[in-house]
Structure 1
Amino acid sequence: MDVIYADFSISMSEFKKNPAQVLRTAGEKPVAVLNHNRPAFYMVPPKLFERLLEELADRDLVSIARQRLALKDAAVEVDIEKI
């Protein structure tokens, strides 16, 4: 059994009939579109998609910061006023 990561789900055939109505009904929530009772894809509104992308970008930045913190012993102190 597959986990469905959405509050709403709909069959592929029902989704094809009126995708705009599915989007309106779901509001700001994701919708799992099922094919043979298994998630085929998720429909997400633009605001949620943007938040997901921002979260992924933030995770990348955290990873970079951790890598750089691990190298801080090799850092050279610089006085920005003397540059």
Structure 2
Amino acid sequence: MSKFKKNPAQVLRTAGEKPVAVLNHNRPAFHRVTPKLFEALVEELADRDLAAIVCQRLALKDTAVEVDIEQI
């Protein structure tokens, strides 16, 4: 934390595109990630949520009712 407090811009420049973990007494105080990495993480979490929904719906596939879209 003290190194980050002294010159946060330098720490971030040195890290470049890599994530930064700022520690306080050897415990994570916060993490810094680039917007690009943050977006990728959010998309991955959304994909996992969708995959769980797909698995749930596939488990119920045998109870599905067939419909003719032309009759709706």
**Shorter-chain TM-score tier:** 0.7 to 0.9
- Structure 1 alignment gaps of length 5 or more: 1-11
Higher relative contact order (CA 8 A, sep 6+): 1
Amino acid at match of 1:28: E
- Structure 2 alignment gaps of length 5 or more: none
The structure in which a higher percent of residues are helix is: 2
TM-score by length of 1: 0.76
Deviation >6 Å, runs of 4+? none
Q: Is residue 60 of structure 1 aligned with residue 56 of structure 2?
A: no
CA RMSD of aligned residues (A): 1.4
Count of residue pairs the alignment pairs up: 72
TM-score by length of 2: 0.86
